[in-house]
Each structure stands twice: as structure tokens, then as C-alpha cells.
Amino acid sequence: MGRLDGKVALISGGARGQGATEAKLFAREGARVVFGDMLDDAGRQVEADIRAAGGEATYIHLDVTSDDDWREAVGTAVNRYGKLDILVNNAGIIRRFSIEETTREVWDEVMAVNSTGVFLGTKYAIPAMRQAGGGSIVNISSISGIIAIGAPAYNASKGAVRVFTKVTAVEHARDKIRCNSIHPGPIDTAMLQSGHEDPEAAMQRRLSAIPLGRLGTTEDIAYGALYLASDESSFVTGAELVIDGGFIAQ
């Protein structure tokens, strides 16, 4: 018995990194998975990997800033697999500039993907989840949505996700739709390395600040998402799950 047997999940940003790991794990745990990204070749490879392992998955092109793409994504889940039970708003970007260095274009880009994308995914998933009798929304925020580490636009966008999660949880509790956020610390992905003048020095600074002494893995985050997506967390909504090796506990 898989922990997501009988569930249908939709995951954004699923072509690589955390999203790909989540898609593969959810499929192994019995979910039928629709996942989207802008990286179509990588996404189709993840789909092939899931199917080769005996799972059920469908890759779609998904620009999370597009209303039409979200409508299509939700429609694919419902039309192909009959319903929608789980949404993981995973897609995200980071641009590492100070406040004064951040242009309006950079600010708008980060907010569009990281915040507006979560809003749109939630907006279009809710009617399908209500029709299914309830569901679980898992929003990938960051410890940067709680503390001042990261970059101004990124922090602001992830802080918005944190509070929007709570609003969603309260507003749709009577629909039996739960909504929770995950707040990863430094995770060993391509995003972590991007935008640093000296990636090695940045890495050493991070490691020295993590009590557990290592970077997180995509599996660390995916298993948190699995718990929140499953019925095991049926009394958990509006909550923040911090997965950071103790980083912000100090």
C-alpha cells in the first residue's frame, strides 16, 4: 500500500530538483501525477523515468504565471485521471541582488513566478478539489520567507507564500481543503549555486551555519511534502514545516 494510493497530484516545477524528486516519490507512493515545467525535454525524461519504474505520470508544459497554462494543467489532471486531490506549488526562481541593485523588472519576475504562480495554482485547483470532496495544497516557501537571509525579492516572494498559505487554509477549511507551507533551508540543487560570485565560499558559509553539518537533499523536502499531501496529516492545515537542518533554530 502506497501512502498516496488513489490520489491524483499536480506538481509545478517538476522537471528537475525538488519538483522532479517529488513527482517520482509521489508516483512510487501510488499517486497518479501530473507535473509541469518550462523545461520540456527534462520534464519528458522525468515522465519516462516514472513510467519505466511502474508509476503513472503525465508531463505538461506549465508557465506558472499563465492563467491558461494552469487551467490546462488542472484540466489534464481531471480529464485524464478523474479528479485532483493534491497540488504542490513547487516552482520558484531566485535573483541575488541587494535592494538598490534590484530593478523593477527583476522584482516583478521573481514575484510573478514565486508568489503569483502560487496564487494562480491555488485559484484553479480549488474548484477541482472541492468537486473531489477535499484535498491538500503544499506550498514550497523557504526559510527566507521567515528570516532575512536570501535576497530581497526572493524573501518577499516567499514571505507572501507563507501568509497566503494561512489565508488559503482558513478560507477553505470548510471545503476540506488543507493548505500548508514547507520552508527549506539550504538544499543541494542548482538553484542554491546560482548567482554567487564565489560559489565555494558561499557553500562553506552555509555549511558552517547548519547545526546538522550538511546541505539538505531534495528527498528531505519531498518526504515532507509527501506527509503533508497524505491523509496522515489530515488535522494539519495552515502550518509551517521547516526543513533546514536546524539553521533557524539557533
**Domains of the chain and CATH, by start:** 8-241 (3.40.50.720)
What distance in Å separates the CA atoms of residue 187 and residue 219, rounded to the nearest whole number? 10
pLDDT tens-place string over residues 207-222: 989 999 999 999 999 9
What distance in Å separates the CA atoms of residue 75 and residue 124, rounded to the nearest whole number? 9
What distance in Å separates the CA atoms of residue 243 and residue 155, rounded to the nearest whole number? 17
| Residue where the block lists cell 501525477 | 33
pLDDT tens-place string over residues 222-237: 999 999 999 999 999 9
Residue 199 grid coordinates = 560559489
Answer left, alpha or beta for residue 102, where phi above 0 means left and psi between -120 and 50 means alpha: beta
For residue 158, name the pLDDT band (cuts at 50, 70, 90): very high
pLDDT tens-place string over residues 77-86: 999 999 999 9
Q: Do residues 29 and 51 lie in contact, with contact meaning Cβ atoms separated by under 8 Å?
A: no
- DSSP class of residue 213? S
Q: One-letter amino acid identity for 98?
A: S
154 tagged catalytic: yes
What is the phi/psi pair of residue 13, to 5°?
65, 40
For residue 165, give the nearest of 142, 186, 141, 143 by alpha carbon: 141
Is a pLDDT exceeding 60 seen at residue 43?
Answer: yes
Residue in 59, 154, 223, 227 annotated catalytic? 154
Average pLDDT over every residue of 17-27: 98
E-assigned strands of 17-107?
A: 32-37, 56-61, 86-89
Tell me the pTM. 0.95
What pLDDT, on the 0 to 100 scale, is given for residue 192?
62
Is a pLDDT exceeding 70 seen at residue 32?
Answer: yes
